[in-house]
Amino acid sequence: DLADTQKLIQQVRLALEGGTLWLQYRNKSADKSLGLQQATALMRLCREFAVPLIINDSLDVALEIDADGVHLGAQDCLISHEKKKLGAEKIIGVSCYDNLQCALEAETEGADYVALGSFFASTVKPHAVRAPLKLLREAKERLRVPVVAVGGIDLHNAGLLVGAGADAVAVISALFNAEDIKETAKN
């Protein structure tokens, strides 16, 4: 969570220059005004790099800035209802934590991807439930939608998750706390 919009944009630009393929805007501490300001600035930046922008937990902001999609918590709402509001061409992802049944239901409801984890200790969510690595293998056997691994991911453990079946990994601290964000994104 970053209140300094200019610094946020500088860091994200470096991540995008390094090859980041998707960006999810998540700032739990921002008020509505700051959240909208930052999301709008990130949307312009993502368009410059032709990278999709997903808004975390705010369908209203996603709609207002015409973001590429929204990411929801498993308990947030019915995905099919959100999909109608957002539009069929937009992306909806759902956090399913360590729950394969949740992921299966999310796919049935129309989710375009599911996020599973936390696979490792995370400074962003230190008390998150830990998911076993075998969950990725099981998910890939049973789901048709992409599976994103989350939680404590860095350069040392990302390959393990991809090897276990993750289609993508979500990285926050290991990227944005790195000395060289662009180089870390490349790696």
pLDDT at 77 over 90: no
Lowest-confidence region among 106-115, 124-133, 173-182? 124-133
Residues known to be catalytic: 26, 95, 125
pLDDT at 22 over 80: yes
Rounded CA-CA distance 13/45 in Å is: 7
- For tokens 């048709």, what's the residue? 144
pLDDT in tens, 23-44: 999 998 899 999 999 999 999 9
Rounded CA-CA distance 126/133 in Å is: 18
Nearest to 134 by CA among 96, 103, 166: 166
pLDDT at 76 over 80: no
